[in-house]
Structure 1
Amino acid sequence: MQKLSLLLLLLITGRIVAADWPQWRGPNRDGAWTESGVLSSFPPAGLIPRWTAPVGYGYSSPIITNGMLYLTDLVVEKPVLHERTLCFNARSGKRIWVTEHDFSAPDWFFVPAQTRGPGSTPLFHNGRVYGLSMFSTLKCLDARTGSVLWKRDLVAEYELPPSSLDASPLVDNGLLILSIGGKPAAGVVALDLLTGREVWRALSESASWSSPVIVSAGGTRQLIVWMRQSVTSLNPTNGAVYWREPTVSGGSPGFSAVSTPVVQGDRLLVSGLMFQLDRTRPAARVLWPDTPSGTRRILSDTSTPLFQNDFIYSPRSGGLFVCLEAGTGRELWQTNTVTSLRQGACVHFTPNGSSLFLFTDQGDLIRARLTPAGYSELGRSHLIDPTSPLFDNSFAWAAPAFANRNIFVRNDRELRCYSLAGKPELPKREGRR
């Protein structure tokens, strides 16, 4: 009985988190899903939803922790917009609570092709949910009730331009780190998790869509941020600059800073820009490409590449899916079978076991193997319809979340849960003696 009580206590307090997906790109912010017992192929008729729940506009990802799912969205009722944070029971899809913030918007926002919701994925930490609204209100909520514990108006406090913030927050050693492009010298800010008080600020640079990450290299922990004017390494404790590489990016197709930085060993990949990290100190040099051209340094303006076993896999901005050598950037192969779109092509990678899942811009889930020899598709199932308009096409922008052998996907209309559990293995029967 004591062991059972201890197990229940651990579950309630969130100290058993192996199956959780508490932030952008999962537990370690690397896109990997480590659960076992996952199906290796899809049923012939495709996957069937376990449950479906209505939601509003948005391409922020769901997060799942302690059996609860949290999501941000936007409900449009002209002339009012309702920006919400919602909590669902992850097992049943039942809505538990909703916290809402109402505001007005200009007429152009209510044109269907212009309407969009929040893109920044919320974050769970120690019983609290931290969420950044589309129009730059930062809230800290009680995860159990949805009550507001503190909030910050980032537009007023940091002189932000009238545009959305889509980079997802990061937690590190009691700090909530945000890429916001504020003033003065507040491109990146770190706030106290408990109070929202500013601890440090850094960089006089504009915000991008790229989310910050922490890497360990050169004998120290480094905060990597991709702003519109640079890729910069900061001391996560105080915001001091370790190193900085100037870049040029903007908001036009093929030119946008969107990818989350990824690291393997002593190499750091930021979209199409590869760095060699110094092994003895916090420093870096550009490995490739050998040009400062903005478009040459962007591999994809929608997707974070997969960096695995010294090879890189990614859609290009033009839609072709490619494999590159990590050391040189040389293309080894390409295929047009992953997605049919050629503008805005988007793929989210989730390694799992000996293969991986790819979630496409058309709402398809693919089980595949990627090697330097080529692309091998093991199965494909359509999960959700694309609803976000761009280039006369519709897209499923939001990255999926994985937890408890389930996948959770959303568009601008609904949230869906599908089981990815494999068949349980039957116990082996002992032979007669």
Structure 2
Amino acid sequence: MLISQEIVLPCDLRLPNRLVKAAMAESMAPAPAHDPNDKMLVAYKEWAKGGWGMLLTGNVQVSEQYLGGPMDVLSSSSSGDVEKIWKGWASTCQENGTPTVVQLNHPGRQSPLGAGQRGFFTKNLAPSAVKLNFGSSLLAGVASSLLFGTPKAMTEDDISLVIDQFVAGAKLSFQAGFKGVELHGAHGYLLAQFLSPKTNQRTDGFGGSPAKRAEIVLRIIRRVRQATSKEFCIGIKLNSVDASSSDSLADTIEQISLIVEAGIDFLEISGGTYEDPKMAQQNETSSITAPTKEKQSTLQRESFFLSFAQMIRVHFPKVVLIVSGGFRTRIGMEAALQSGGCDMIGLARPAAVLPRLPREIILNESIKDVDATVSLKPVILPKFYSYLHWLLPVKIMGGGYGSMYYAGQIQRMGDGLKPVDARL
């Protein structure tokens, strides 16, 4: 099976197989320090036993003022023992030889009220003062205003500070012993906001053209490489959703070309924002119950973002591609790899339910293809949420609740309990 084969990244990092534990918010690092704690180490110890090719951590925030959630890990922690704590985290993740990469993030305009050490009237940061749009209703607008507000268009000093924060997070990861970092440029967070013309309306050196919108990302990549080493892995997670027209696809291809030239080791394809949470889409209504000769239909049924990755492959045949979102069967994963559309498979929610999924099922040769599946039951919104549909679109609430549910499974792992087996 191709899925079980080793792959070597451009930085010479060797991954034992093609399965990646994708990033998920653990929501386990309380204020004030926001350090990875003992419970997180217990959870990551389970993944370390799972036989994964690579582990991606949940998104680690680079700014203490702006968090994606109130329990996020923070790379700029003020804890005096932060480097010692991070070395323990890196050691735990990699104690069985699984390379682990830290996902670094800044939420930008998607930092909710109460998440981060900022004043009540301090505005979120964004490339331009473009407010989140949860829908056309009056109440949706009020909710957006109360939770996130209209962001402040960043000054060049703000941008320089954010670049420094990403570099500091990467340097801490490097010194702690992690094998690399992944820059979160998807899901509508700050780097994605800069890349997109919908949220970046600047006309200076950081906006006005596809290349200028990518400038902040390029500077971070180059600075991280200078601050670490040529063997330190640098990846990036990008959205596919802006490639809905020939113009936006051409813009995206131009930006990826610049990012690849700057020196990345892998590109992960995902999608969605808080406004349109495709990354939280549920694809659990059916499972493959028999081997299929129609691999294309298998791919269409399973992967959310593979078609976009296949377009990227045409333009960048040598880039190492990870596709995350929707894969639930060995058949679908192997077919995606064999198609050439991606080099690695990212699994998030299945990894929260079955932390040892590669070793126990997908790479377990004693299990037949027909049985190597991990289709999950849909997460059902509690009745209380149904009364709130008039406030926010159902897809926003559903995506948020689903993410909370799977964060809860990770927290069960941290408590030494087994996640709830939610397989169909």
Asked whether the two chains share a fold, i.e. TM above 0.5, the reply is no
Larger helix proportion of the pair: 2
Larger strand proportion of the pair: 1
Provide TM-score, normalisation by structure 1: 0.30
Larger radius of gyration: 1
